[in-house]
């Protein structure tokens, strides 16, 4: 078995640096972390932790992997994870992937080298197969985004039903040309769909189901696959305005995208809700305070995080895999309310 000294030599750093990477990774530059973790993996080094953690074979740390910390939605999920982790006397490390496969693979390496006891993945981008393989030997839970592998514990809402409810809500209010905003394509590679968020794919199914039940044809010219950010929503509006006939409603797959759309519509003199209804997704804090306040699908963000940590602790304790689907709600606000 390799020693820490051999890992340090292989990585070209000091033993103290290796120790910091394994115990306090936030105190070490990312490039150095990568060097050390590559050496750990190459030498199949298993860290030894002192004292109580050694006796229990636990680090009392878990890793949370998410794409970005700038999204309000994830901040509430992480709060739920942290609060439940403290109850179990666990510390939480966070890693953002920024849509890069190498970052999520680095997170997988951290788990394999036993730097943490397990991980909660809020993104599986580009690494679904690797995460499935990891789950066979290490405690893993996925949150927010559904996964195909039924052997992985997962916490999410019913995205098909949620999108169906949002679309049906608009149809019942007389809307028939409902633009769909937020499906994320890789625009760098011709017109081929390279990757689509799992939840977005399910929401598209729910949207189409509601239209079909109402005998409304699915019009793909009303699909605007820019992304989920505020800028994506605003950018989508410029494409919407090129249509010969404007939609009478917009269903966005994120609150940020919906709010970006409302802002861009206002700049062009198009009123919400008088001229066009807008519905978002997530029920972030901004959706309530923005004017007009945003009708949206509410996800139980804090409960998703809390439940994900409970499932991870069960996995760490050796219990069997299970998944949980939490309830969503449609929160009606001013972006779909006409004055009487």
User: Is 66 part of any domain?
Assistant: no
Q: Which contiguous run of DSSP H or E holds residue 215?
A: none
User: Is 312 part of any domain?
Assistant: no
CA distances from 109 to 44, 81, 103, 118, 340 (A): 11, 21, 10, 11, 59
Per-residue confidence (pLDDT) for residue 52, from 0 to 100: 42
Give the DSSP letter string of 152-206: SEEEEE-HHHHHHHHHHHHHHTT---EEEE-----TTSTT------HHHHHHHHH
- pLDDT of 26-83, one tens digit each? 778 888 888 888 888 888 786 654 344 444 567 899 999 998 887 788 999 999 999 9
Per-residue confidence (pLDDT) for residue 218, from 0 to 100: 96
Instruction: Tokens 């120790």: give the residue.
Output: 19
- pLDDT of 160-194, one tens digit each? 999 999 999 999 999 999 999 986 544 343 333 33
CA distances from 317 to 117, 124, 238 (A): 10, 24, 52
The answer to whether 298 touches 329, Cβ cutoff 8 Å, is yes
- pLDDT of 250-273, one tens digit each? 999 999 999 999 999 999 999 999
The answer to whether 118 touches 81, Cβ cutoff 8 Å, is no
- pLDDT of 86-101, one tens digit each? 998 999 999 998 878 7
User: Is 218 part of any domain?
Assistant: yes
Paired tokens of 309: 């940590």
Paired tokens of 227: 């992304």
Half-sphere exposure of residue 103, counting CA atoms within 13 Å on the CB side? 17
Domain that holds residue 254: 159-298+330-336
Per-residue confidence (pLDDT) for residue 47, from 0 to 100: 64
The mean pLDDT value of the chain amounts to 88
Give the number of other Cβ atoms within 10 Å of residue 274's Cβ: 10
Share of the chain above pLDDT 70, in %: 91
CA distance 230 to 313: 35
User: Is 238 part of any domain?
Assistant: yes
User: Is 280 part of any domain?
Assistant: yes
Q: What is the DSSP letter of 334?
A: G
Q: Based on the structure, what is the number of domains in the chain?
A: 1
CATH number for 219? 3.40.50.2300
- Interior/surface letters 36-68, b for 16+ CB within 10 angstroms, e for the rest: bbebbbebebebebeeeeeeeebbebbbbbbbe
Average pLDDT over residues 218-231: 93
Angle at 131 between CA 55 and CA 186, to 5 degrees: 145
Paired tokens of 189: 């590679």
Characterize the bridge pairing of strands 118-121 and 140-143. parallel
Query: From the centroid of its chain, how far is CA 227?
Result: 13
pLDDT(133) > 60: yes
Per-residue confidence (pLDDT) for residue 181, from 0 to 100: 95
User: Is 207 part of any domain?
Assistant: yes
User: Is 74 part of any domain?
Assistant: no
Least confident of 167-171, 189-193, 223-227, 244-248: 189-193
How many residues does the structure list for the chain?
340
User: Is 145 part of any domain?
Assistant: no
């Amino acid at each position: 078995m390799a020693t820490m000294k051999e890992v340090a030599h292989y990585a070209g750093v000091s033993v103290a640096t290796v120790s910091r990477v394994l115990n306090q990774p936030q105190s070490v530059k990312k490039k150095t972390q990568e060097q050390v973790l590559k050496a750990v993996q190459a030498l199949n080094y298993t860290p030894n932790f002192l004292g109580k953690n050694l006796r229990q074979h636990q680090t009392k740390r878990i890793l949370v992997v998410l794409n970005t910390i700038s999204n309000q939605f994830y901040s509430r999920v992480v709060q739920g994870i942290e609060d439940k982790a403290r109850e179990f006397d666990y510390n939480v490390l966070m890693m953002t992937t920024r849509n890069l496969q190498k970052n999520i693979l680095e997170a997988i390496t951290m788990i394999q080298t036993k730097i943490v006891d397990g991980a909660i993945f809020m993104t599986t981008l580009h690494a679904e197969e690797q995460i499935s393989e990891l789950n066979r030997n290490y405690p893993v839970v996925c949150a927010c985004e559904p996964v195909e592998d039924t052997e992985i514990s997962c916490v999410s809402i019913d995205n098909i039903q949620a999108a169906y409810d949002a679309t049906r809500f608009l149809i019942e209010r007389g809307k028939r040309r409902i633009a769909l905003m937020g499906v994320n394509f890789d625009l760098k590679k011709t017109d081929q769909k390279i990757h689509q968020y799992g939840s977005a794919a399910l929401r598209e199914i729910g949207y189409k189901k509601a239209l079909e039940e109402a005998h409304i044809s699915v019009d793909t010219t009303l699909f605007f696959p820019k992304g989920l950010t505020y800028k994506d929503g605003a950018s989508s509006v410029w494409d919407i305005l090129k249509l010969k006939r404007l939609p009478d409603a917009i269903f966005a797959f994120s609150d940020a995208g919906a709010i970006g759309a409302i802002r861009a519509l206002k700049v062009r003199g198009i009123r919400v809700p008088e001229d066009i209804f807008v519905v978002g997704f997530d029920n972030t804090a901004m959706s309530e305070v923005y004017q007009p306040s945003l009708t949206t699908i509410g996800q139980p963000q804090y409960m998703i995080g809390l439940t994900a940590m409970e499932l991870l602790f069960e996995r760490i304790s050796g219990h069997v895999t299970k998944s949980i689907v939490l309830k969503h709600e449609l929160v009606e606000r001013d972006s779909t309310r006409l004055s009487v």
